[in-house]
Amino acid sequence: MTESSEKAKKTEATTESATYKGMLSEVENLVKEVGQPDLDLDDMVTKIERGYNLIKAMRTRLETTKQKVEQLRLDFE
């Protein structure tokens, strides 16, 4: 593997990690916002929907990562 392809993979992994952390942060903020007593009902539903969509994307990302790690483990046995 060339140095540039290794660097590209590290950058991609860092970006994926940052994106995951960003999604987690957004979910945490949505939870706080939904708990506000003066939040409009329609806004609440929109925020809850966004939260569930983020959680679904995060689960998919975790499953993909789990499969990659398992494949690495198998490759190095």
Which tens digit of pLDDT belongs to each residue from 31-77? 999 999 999 999 999 999 999 999 999 999 999 999 999 999 999 98
Task: Note the pLDDT of residue 15.
Answer: 77
- Are the CB atoms for 23 and 57 separated by under 8 Å? yes
Answer left, alpha or beta for residue 2, where phi above 0 means left and psi between -120 and 50 means alpha. beta
CA distances from 8 to 5, 16, 66 (A): 5, 12, 20
Domain definitions of the chain by residue range: 18-75
Q: Is the confidence at residue 17, as pLDDT, over 90?
A: no
Task: Note the pLDDT of residue 77.
Answer: 84
